[in-house]
Amino acid sequence: MTGPEHYHRAEDLIGDAAGASESSDHGRAAALVAIAQVHATLAAAAAAALNHGGRGLDERDYTAWYEAAGVKPDRPS
């Protein structure tokens, strides 16, 4: 999954968790929140790695994060 896909999946899971909580399925709600947290963490890692066009990363690391995050590189010259 890309960074943006992880972000959107986390949003979807939080919505599902709210629905489960409203229907008193608290165990399912807790599990969905935990999974959403993992997706949100992966999205944040991808965003942080590419912050400011990847300045501070060597080319190989930047390319690996670019490929993992699924965004177009916009490296400053």
What are the extents of the domains in the chain?
Answer: 3-69
In the block, tokens 């969905």 appear at: 32
53 vs 51: CA distance, rounded Å: 6
**pTM beyond 0.75:** no
Instruction: Determine the residue type at 69.
Output: A
- Using an 8 Å Cβ cutoff, are 54 and 66 in contact? yes
Angle at 55 between CA 53 and CA 59, to 5 degrees: 90
For the segment 12-68, what is each residue's pLDDT rounded down to a tens digit? 999 999 999 999 999 999 999 999 999 999 989 888 877 766 677 778 877 777 777
59 vs 38: CA distance, rounded Å: 27
